[in-house]
Chain A
Amino acid sequence: MAYMGTMLRVNLTAGTIKRENTPLDLAKKYVGGRGLATRMLTNEIDPTVDPLSPENKLIFATGPLTNTNAPTGGRYMVVTKGPLTGGIASSNSGGEWGAFLKKAGYDMIIFEGKSPKPVYLSVMGDDVQIKDAAHVWGKRVPETTDILIEESGEKKAKVSCIGPAGENLVYFAAIMNEKHRAAGRTGVGAVMGSKNLKAVVVHGDKKSPIPDQDAFREIVRGKITKIKENGITGEGLPKLGTKVLDNIINENGMYPSRNFQDVMYDGTSHMSGEALIEKGYLKRNSGCYMCPIACARDVELPNGRRGEGPEYETGWAFGPMLGFHDLNVICDANFLCNDLGLDTISAGVTLACAMEMYEKGFIKKEELELGPELTFGTSEALPFYLKKMAYREGIGDKMAQGSFRMATEYGCPEFSMTCKKQELPAYDPRGVQGMGMSYATGNRGGDHVRSYLISPEILGAPEKLDPQAIEGKMKWLFIFQNLTAVIDSSGLCLFTSFALGLDDYRDMINAATGFDLTSEEWMEVGERIWNMERNFNLLAGIGPETDTLPKRFFTEPANRGPNKGKLHRLPEMLPEYYQIRGWNADGTMPKQKLEALGL
């Protein structure tokens, strides 16, 4: 089996490290990564626990395909109870860190308790130690990474760490690995900070034990061919990265700007993926562990600053959402967030909310303490308030709680573009009905990668659906949510799904694990994971009333473009979704459903 068979349990309060057997009896039901880690978390913590208390746990987990030569087989997932939504939090990341955790010999690490002082965990194969981190506490991500690699004595060691945002418990702090890769969403970095855990350094050279290496290699070869021959994964993404979407989404009339007050942005062509190339900023593309797609961007700006990014969502959150399109400002802000350890989507959307609140008189000028005007189009505001958020200074302290808590405090929660208190990504629901339902029903809050219905509704993969149609959409949502849970749990990148289908994932996971599950059985695994997450949220107090969208999408019609006049039609779709899920009409989950799924 492609599992290492061993996991680490680190009690930060007591300073103890235990090696335990990975619960492989659960693997067939929950795969690994997101699924298995969520099972462990929900078994071990009270759903009502304070996310930033020692009673919460933080799990870094790999999947069976992590550290194999399966395409994109390098991902890991961080699972915990999150401070932003108050529910299940999980965020995954690429790069090489996940593969190196398994090379060190471990499938996952469970952190418990809270260290009395800043520490980091060093996992150098069999040598695992909790080490003092006083000298890196307060330092940004790149410097922390360099210092800890130097200390490890192993140049190829990989570092996953938090920056000042995580230390300061910003509710949308990210965990960063290899400086530029982010487990960005849901505030997992704040939980790490609450435990006084600065970093996890990993290195090793072990291979994942695959039952029949030759058969696995042959299967993988076929999947890589499919990815390379697919127009999206073989051409579009490698050439232009995710920012190829800027013009696609804008031309489709669903590229939100100025805090979703407008459904399009006129300056898109100036900051698009194409512009990044035409202006000569893009130096090269690169890929994560075993990735045949290589969509990462290495960018150098005219001011000499160099770094990775921006991705589509980041470019949008730091540009059109704030009413400007200066690529220099956007890229620099992306680099700054990577350094500080901030989720770019939540940071940008929170700032957009603050701008609308300021323009409409809810935030007063004196609260800015002589800082830049919080008006749309003021690019100077972006780096200024990002630092304020990360260090919780001035009004940044309010922003650090996310837009929902900030806007609620001022009496205007309707300006918070969030679902379950997590900020929305870059697709206007009024232009794409299924994706809007994906936001509304997402277990980790407003999010695009837990069921990326943009793929069929806009991109036409695997087949083209009308973005304004609602008939049949909830079945697609059900399938995408379940399949994505399996992909996330396997250790692969979701981008493979532009080219691969359920049977492809079945082939690879079965070959790596020795399981013999059918495609239908794998989909049931995905359904089980989805229901488990939902059940945790319900027990945590996040009820069905949160399966909704910001009021704006029901009351303010799309102002222009092909979707002009459209609203989101959630009330027509939600009952069907509950029905397809086998839940009660009020969105609660019948005991029989949970039992049928073995929960």
Chain B
Amino acid sequence: MTVKFFATLKLKLRVASVSVEASPATTVGQALRDAERALGSEFWLEIFDEAGTARVGAMVLLDGVNIAHLQGVDTPVGTAEALSIFPPAGGG
């Protein structure tokens, strides 16, 4: 599946996306850790606090659905094609 980076995270990593191997049972958390390994760069703490909850304004979307409304980082990726990762951001 594709892990896509946005906002300040994209600017910092200097990459728009990375591909990771995932089976339907792979969790979002595992896919993100795999993405970190593929990039050779850690970003977990830019998104989550120590309890694994997204920081205010940060989000991880599984095919457009916020994992906060699924099972968080324990959500199986199933047949989803993409994870979109946003560090804290907002506007209006």
A residues within 8 Å of B by Cβ?
230-233, 235-237, 239-245, 247-248, 251-253, 269, 273-274, 277-278, 295, 311-313, 448-449, 452, 454-455, 458-462, 464, 466, 494-495, 498, 561-563
Q: What are 28 A-to-B residue pairs whose CB atoms are below 8 Å? A: A231-B58, A232-B57, A236-B90, A237-B90, A242-B92, A243-B91, A247-B6, A247-B86, A248-B6, A248-B7, A251-B64, A253-B64, A274-B7, A295-B91, A312-B91, A312-B92, A455-B90, A459-B57, A459-B59, A459-B90, A460-B58, A460-B68, A461-B56, A461-B57, A498-B57, A562-B61, A562-B64, A563-B64
Is B63 an interface residue, CB under 8 A from the partner? yes
A373 to B63, CA, bound (A): 36
Instruction: State the Cβ distance, A474 to closest chain B Cβ, in Å.
Output: 19
Asked if B55 is at the interface (CB within 8 A of a chain A CB), the reply is: yes
Chain B, residue nearest A494 (CB): B92
Render B42-66 as a binary contact track against A, CB cut-off 8 A, 1 for contact.
Answer: 0000000000001111110101111
Q: Pick from B16, B58, B89: contact of A240, CB below 8 A.
A: B89
Contacts of B6 in A (CB 8 A): 247-248, 251, 274
User: Does B29 interact with chain A (Cβ within 8 Å)?
Assistant: no
Query: B14 — nearest CB in chain A belongs to which residue?
Result: A278
A312, B4: Cα distance in complex, Å:
21
Please tell me if the beta carbons of A460 and B64 are within 8 angstroms of each other in the complex: no
Please report which residues of chain B, range 57-92, place their CB below 8 angstroms from some CB of chain A when the two chains form the complex. Answer: 57-59, 61, 63-66, 68-69, 84, 86-92
B8 and A239 within 8 A (CB) = yes
Contact across chains for B57 and A231 when beta carbons are under 8 A apart? yes
Interface size on B, residues (CB 8 A): 28
Does B92 contact A464, Cβ atoms closer than 8 Å?
Answer: no
Q: Complex Cα distance A232/B63, Å? A: 23
Q: How far is the CA of A231 from the CA of B91 in the complex (A)?
A: 12
A274 contacts B54, C-beta separation under 8 Å = no
Determine the residue in chain B with the shortest Cβ distance to A247.
Answer: B6
Report Cα–Cα, A498/B90, bound state, in Å.
Answer: 8
Interchain nearest-CB distance for B56 vs A (Å): 5
Give the CA-CA distance A312 to B65 in the complex, in Å.
22
CB distance from B81 to the nearest CB of A (A): 12
**Complex CA distance for A232 and B56, rounded to whole angstroms:** 8
> Which residue among A240, A455, A563 has the maximum number of chain B CB atoms within 10 Å of its CB?
A240
Question: Could you say which residues of chain A place their CB within 8 Å of the CB of B88?
Answer: 230-232, 235-236
Contact B56 A236 (CB under 8 A): no
Kindly state the separation between the CA atoms of A247 and B16 in the bound complex, as whole angstroms. Answer: 12
Whether B33 sits at the interface, judged by CB under 8 Å, is no
Q: A248's closest neighbor in chain B, by CB?
A: B86
Q: Which residues of A contact B11 (CB under 8 A)?
A: 239, 274, 277-278
A sample of 20 more A-B contacts (CB under 8 A), given A231-B56, A459-B59, A495-B91, is: A231-B57, A236-B89, A239-B7, A242-B92, A244-B91, A248-B6, A248-B59, A248-B86, A251-B6, A251-B64, A274-B6, A312-B91, A313-B92, A455-B90, A459-B89, A460-B54, A461-B57, A498-B57, A562-B63, A563-B64
B92 lies within 8 A of A449 (CB): yes
Q: With CB as the reference atom, state the residue of chain A lying closest to B65.
A: A562
Which of B57, B63, B64, B84 has most A Cβ within 10 Å? B57
Please give, as numbers and ranges, the residues of chain B lying within 8 Å of A242 by CB-CB distance.
91-92
Distance (whole angstroms) from the CB of A568 to the closest CB of chain B? 18
Quote the shortest CB–CB distance from A449 to chain B (angstroms): 6
Nearest opposing residue in chain A for B12, CB measure = A239
CB nearest neighbor in A for B86? A248
Contact of B84 among A232, A251, A277, A563 (CB under 8 A): A251
Which residues of A lie under 8 Å from residue B4 when comparing CB positions? 251
Q: Which residue of A lies closest to B8 (CB)?
A: A239
Once the chains are docked, how many angstroms separate the CA of A86 from the CA of B63?
42
Q: Which residue of A lies closest to B62 (CB)?
A: A562
**Are the C-beta atoms of B8 and A240 separated by less than 8 Å?**
yes
User: Chain B residues near A235 (CB, 8 Å)?
Assistant: 8, 87-89
Q: Would you give the shortest CB distance from B35 to chain A, in whole angstroms?
A: 16
> What residues of chain B lie closer than 8 Å to A448, measured between beta carbons?
92
Hey, which chain B residues are within 8 Å of A494, CB to CB? 92
* C-alpha spacing A461/B92, complex, angstroms: 13
The distance in angstroms between the C-alpha atoms of A562 and B59, with both chains bound, is 15
- The CA-CA distance from A248 to B7 in the complex, in Å, is 9
Q: Is the CB of A245 within 8 A of B92?
A: yes
Contact A452 B8 (CB under 8 A): no
- With a CB–CB cut-off of 8 A, which chain A residues contact B54? 460, 464
Q: Are B68 and A464 in contact (CB under 8 A)?
A: yes
A236: which of B16, B57, B61, B69 is its contact (CB, 8 Å)? B57
